[in-house]
Amino acid sequence: MSIPKSRIVKVVDLFCGVGGLTHGLFKEGFNVVAGYDLDEACKYPYEANNKSTFFRRDIVDVSSKEINAHYKNCDIKILVGCAPCQPFSTYSYKTADKNKWQLLGHFARLIQEIQPDIVSMENVPRLAKFTKEPIFKEFLETLNNNGYNCSYKIVNCPDYGIPQHRKRLVLLASKFGKISLIPETHDQDSYKTVKNAIGKLEPLKSGEVSKKDSLHRAAKLSELNLKRIRQSKQGGTWKDWDENLVLECHKKPSGKTYVSVYGRMSWNEPAPTITTHCTGIGNGRFGHPEQDRAITLREAAILQSFPKGYKFIKPNEDFKVKTISTHIGNAVPVTLGRIIGKSIKKHLKNIN
């Protein structure tokens, strides 16, 4: 399905990061003319992979006039974005920067001032139930009061071909009429698995770096953690270890429920949610299914459905693993971006 050629469509991506959502839309044939983010380190990967322009700006300070300039000579204006989700997450909302709650409000402000034809917003599912402040309710009210038809859905990522157990809230809104996500493309019998995604990548040992890909690097494990992972089973827990390897925190009542920490992924299932700390086995079930190490940055990116050749750093550039893992963990999965793109294309075809 292609975008109607009789209409010029342009997209602007707010909170674009390294371009997960943009790249999905790009792959579906959309002209994403600009991406906005506060993190300057996102500029290279965003521009190197997406034929778009990155603007390092705080959305709080961005005017509708500035965004509207990107829509010059177009028939259909699309505004998309994923406001930082940490303020609404289960783990950090009590201590998160309260100003970040208002970023979704600034997204709504820009929608009201720009009046784009189509809007898409992606965030954590908890946003819809967030009671600390009625930010999502106000966002919906802004859309409804400005003549948008809205729908939102809690997406289970494996249902759309993403090899990762990740749930996201995806909202679509249109001035043209009813709009919604396309139906699920996969079921439990056809989920993409860890093996489908990374099973053919070059094997590595703890602390080893691929000579072909600097992002395919395994964090070096201590001797104690090597003993632990060698006794870990796919999908298993630290309960599979010898008693002398079990951490003191796991012996406490409060730690006995954290069974995935230091665990291995399973080849034949989607990965657990890829987080910003996904390259350390002490941060979750991020152990490789067979090799005695944690997953690499490249493997994490692929499990986020980035193409294997996605450029995150300039050639021969030094980088911090923490920076790249944060970019990868915070990204919208590219395939989810494609699903959003397919849904918008179907909508445009219907109203054409």
Question: Among this protein's residues, is 74 annotated catalytic?
Answer: no
Tens of pLDDT along 24-35?
Answer: 999 999 999 999
What are the angstrom distances between the C-alpha of 141 and each of 147, 149, 311? 10, 11, 39
φ, ψ of residue 195 to 5 degrees: the values are -65, -40
Q: Is residue 134 part of a domain?
A: yes
Q: Is residue 163 part of a domain?
A: yes
Selected catalytic residue, list 16, 42, 82, 85? 85
Closest CA to 278 of 240, 348, 342, 327: 327
Tens of pLDDT along 185-195?
Answer: 999 999 999 99
Q: Is residue 198 part of a domain?
A: no
Which amino acid would we find at residue 97?
D
Q: Is residue 308 part of a domain?
A: no
The burial class, CB within 10 Å (0-12 / 13-18 / 19+), for 296 is: buried
Q: For each of the chain's 352 residues, which pLDDT tens digit applies?
A: 566 567 899 999 999 999 999 999 999 999 999 999 999 999 999 999 999 999 999 999 999 999 999 999 999 999 999 987 554 344 444 444 455 557 899 999 999 999 999 999 999 898 888 655 688 899 999 999 999 999 999 999 999 999 999 999 999 999 999 999 999 999 999 999 999 999 999 999 999 999 999 999 999 999 999 999 999 999 998 889 988 998 887 777 666 667 788 999 999 999 999 999 999 999 999 999 999 999 999 999 999 999 999 999 999 889 999 999 999 999 999 999 999 999 999 999 998 7
Residue in this structure with the two tokens 């915070």, named with its chain if needed: 330
Domain housing 150: 9-189+332-351
Q: Is residue 204 part of a domain?
A: no
What crossing angle do the helices spanning 135-145 and 103-114 adopt, rounded to 10°? Answer: 0
What are the angstrom distances between the C-alpha of 205 and each of 210, 240, 271, 272, 303? 10, 22, 20, 22, 20
Are 30 and 78 spatial neighbours (Cβ–Cβ below 8 Å)?
yes
- Total structural domains in the chain? 1
Q: Is residue 22 part of a domain?
A: yes
Q: Is residue 121 part of a domain?
A: yes
Closest CA to 129 of 156, 78, 162, 93: 93
DSSP three-state, residue 50:
helix
Residue 28 sits in a domain whose CATH number is: 3.40.50.150
Separation CA 67–CA 130 (nearest Å): 29
Tens of pLDDT along 231-256?
Answer: 999 999 888 998 899 888 777 766 66
Strand partners, 79: 12, 119
Q: Is residue 282 part of a domain?
A: no
Closest CA to 224 of 204, 237, 241, 249: 241
**111 CB-near residues (< 8 Å, 6+ apart):** 79, 119, 142, 143, 146
DSSP three-state, residue 24:
helix
